[in-house]
Structure 1
Amino acid sequence: MSLYIRRTRDGRQTRYVLRESFWNGSCFAARDIVDLGGDPARHIVYVGGNGFYFSEAVEEAFARMGLKRNTEDLEQAFLLYLDPHIRRVIENFTMGRVGRSPSWNAEEAAHHQRFLHPFDKRRLHFLRCGRTDMGNLEGRTWKFLNVLCDKSRDEIEHVIEGMEKVLRPHEWRNYLFTALDLQKYFPNRCMKNHPAALDPEAVDAYFLKEICRLNQDALFFVGVEDHNPQILHAFLVKYVIMYFDHAFSPGSVWGRVFEDFVRYRSFSFRPAARQGLTEEEACACLGLQPKEYRAMSAQALARHYRKKAKKHHPDAGGDHETFIRLSQAYECLMRCKAQRH
């Protein structure tokens, strides 16, 4: 039995539910133990010193379901909601166990990891390594994947949501581009691992195609009883929102484009001294008035850039120098916006 506290939405209210992952005879599924209301900490009763116990509602829920509760597992589930001092004490006494993946050998890990979905592997790889280029994740055993093993779909989403909190706004699109393996749609493009430099409308279309395909994937939703493949599940709705609410990272577009063109395209040019653009010059390059640019959100600027970039992209017959100049201007303006905020 694997216990965890899942945050849920009830209309406009946030509620928390103590759940467990369990083997139902054919797969791992999730079931509710007790509704904790809006604050799990209310179910922790302190008795002085470092002592505490859990409320009668929690104890009665286990008894009512005929489940034998493990004190250490319950403490781990409530760990984030404990008094900070007591939490540190517990972490010191459970070092090497709480919050860590199982210590299986390679053969055992391979046995448990065989049930993991490719989407989960790609998500965790990006969160662990931060790279769009994943190489081959299949057919190999990766220790960092053990944290997802022997869990229900609901608990896997719970674990990954906690890890996703480290993502910065500009990383969300790269994350989803990688997790959905959108690179496969650009096999012959030299910049297939640099989504900011690809045709934005094509990337958007492939994203929607893959998110819909995943929504109909029975293997991904194994153990989830209430899923209708014709309606996008809440597990995936958040990704559509995060994808269209953010832009691809502009931080190194210029450097990546320059390196890839030098490496993969054969053309001769006389390298010029690289000079930084002023805000006014960058605006002019993207066809914007400074006042118009300052009123734009980062998302609106990204959409404007993608429209321009599509027209001048070398893979679509555009001029490579113009495309590079557009990318440089976009990087400059995004940097200016970040500095202002």
Structure 2
Amino acid sequence: MYIAKEQIKGQTHYYIRETYEEGGKLKSRTLFALGPDPARYIMYPGGNAYYIHESVELSILEKGYEVDTFELEDLFWPFLETRLKRIIKRPPVKVKRSYKGMSIDKLREIQSGIHIFDKRRLHYLRFGQVDQRRIAVTPYRFYNRLLGKSRDEIEAYIDEIEERLKPSEIKIYIYTIFNLQRYFFDNPYSLTAPFVLEQDRMDDYFMDELCRLNSDDTFFGDNGERKSLHRYLVKYLIMYFDSEFVRSPGNDWFSQFKDSNFYNPPYRESRMSLQEACRRLNITEQQYRAMSKKEIVTRFKRLAHECHPDKGGGHEDFIALCEAYKRLLEAKRG
């Protein structure tokens, strides 16, 4: 079992789900809908004890599914009172199968079915490295955590780790996992200082890679037609256009550019007018000024779903929508 999240009308809803096999494919099913506040199912009888309300386990059992009580309690750990988290030691995660002592060749064999996008994400989240040129030939044991998981469970697992990313890491993370450096292979700084690269070109390459992944049946594990940007990928669209590469003296490679004649392009602000940006998001300037950043993000997500190229929208129009979103956020920050 695992905890999955979905955004419904701008609010995060939580679900208890499990991976199961059907027709030779790994799928996921919802066992219990927790709503926006899973903590309400945690009961505190007194002292340092807690338990999960019986309605959760009974509901799952009534559907004909098995429940491990200890596993169920562990699922609710993130929602436990902070005081108890400091007192109670979280039980170690059960490992269904051990891969210790397995040869490199055997590891490579069992990991052959793991999608390259999953490997890129886990690799960066583990090492923080942009250079992933050997990722396809080098097996790592931490990839094994993805084995036996449905696409939904994999996304839930990676999403939890991504939440630990610092704001300053987000743009470089997206740049890395979508392998955008391969489009700038002739630039010696593509692996060390991507902020010096041409950002307009990078935007186009990112959109190409995002659309390619959205139509990749091997990633989603099905042959279903996706008429809009899949909810698993919408967050990456937001993360890319809502962040910038950090230029800080704290970075190791900053000294390469300090007091040098190397051309370092300034931060690229949107050239779109505020009026045009509002038009792209189908709002008036008056409505925009009354909107919060969260409301702008929610509106952008909905429009991104509706006018994505995979749903028949024009590629240039979609880029313009993203540019409009960026422009409106800049104005809010300013």
Query: How far apart are the structure 2 equivalents of 1:4 and 1:257?
Result: 41
| Structure of higher CA gyration radius | 1
Corresponding residue of 2:188: 190
Query: How far apart are the structure 1 equivalents of 2:11 and 2:211?
Result: 28
Corresponding residue of 1:83: 81
Which amino acid is 1:208 matched to? M
**TM-score, with structure 2 as normaliser:** 0.69
Query: How far apart are the structure 1 equivalents of 2:134 and 2:83?
Result: 43
Task: Check 1:72–1:25 CA distance in 2 against 1; reply closer, same or farther (3 A cut).
Answer: farther
Cα distance, 1:119 vs. partner?
Answer: 0.6
Indicate whether 1:171 and 2:169 are aligned.
Answer: yes
Extract unaligned runs of 5+ from structure 1. 261-272, 276-284, 287-300, 307-341
Corresponding residue of 1:222: 221
Cα distance, 1:170 vs. partner?
Answer: 2.7
Cα distance, 1:252 vs. partner?
Answer: 5.2
Cα distance, 1:148 vs. partner?
Answer: 2.4
Corresponding residue of 2:276: none
Which amino acid is 1:118 matched to? I
Query: How far apart are the structure 1 equivalents of 2:244 and 2:149?
Result: 32
Conservation of the 8 A alpha-carbon contact between 1:23 and 1:29: yes
Task: Check 1:167–1:13 CA distance in 2 against 1; reply closer, same or farther (3 A cut).
Answer: closer
Query: How far apart are the structure 2 equivalents of 1:28 and 1:128?
Result: 25
Task: Check 1:255–1:91 CA distance in 2 against 1; reply closer, same or farther (3 A cut).
Answer: closer
Extract unaligned runs of 5+ from structure 2. 272-334
Task: Check 1:206–1:11 CA distance in 2 against 1; reply closer, same or farther (3 A cut).
Answer: same
Count of residue correspondences: 265
Task: Check 1:13–1:198 CA distance in 2 against 1; reply closer, same or farther (3 A cut).
Answer: closer
Question: For residues 62-77 of structure 1, what are the structure 2 equivalents within 5 Å?
Answer: 62-77=60-75
Corresponding residue of 2:321: none
Task: Check 1:9–1:246 CA distance in 2 against 1; reply closer, same or farther (3 A cut).
Answer: same
Question: For residues 1-341 of structure 1, what are the structure 2 equivalents within 5 Å?
Answer: 3-87=1-85, 91=89, 94-95=91-92, 97=93, 103-105=98-100, 106-107=102-103, 109-193=107-191, 194-222=193-221, 228-251=225-248, 256=253, 259=256, 274=259, 302-304=267-269
**TM-score, with structure 1 as normaliser:** 0.68
Task: Check 1:101–1:85 CA distance in 2 against 1; reply closer, same or farther (3 A cut).
Answer: farther
Conservation of the 8 A alpha-carbon contact between 1:173 and 1:248: yes
Conservation of the 8 A alpha-carbon contact between 2:52 and 2:73: no
Conservation of the 8 A alpha-carbon contact between 1:216 and 1:230: no
SS at match of 1:220: helix
Measured against aligned partners, the alpha-carbon deviations of 1:36-86 in whole angstroms (never above 9, x if no partner) come to 122112112233344443223312322222111112221221111223454
Conservation of the 8 A alpha-carbon contact between 2:247 and 2:254: no
Corresponding residue of 2:317: none
RMSD: 3.2
Which amino acid is 1:303 matched to? R
Which amino acid is 2:267 matched to? A
Which amino acid is 1:236 matched to? L
Conservation of the 8 A alpha-carbon contact between 1:102 and 1:147: no
Task: Check 1:70–1:125 CA distance in 2 against 1; reply closer, same or farther (3 A cut).
Answer: same
Which amino acid is 2:52 matched to? F
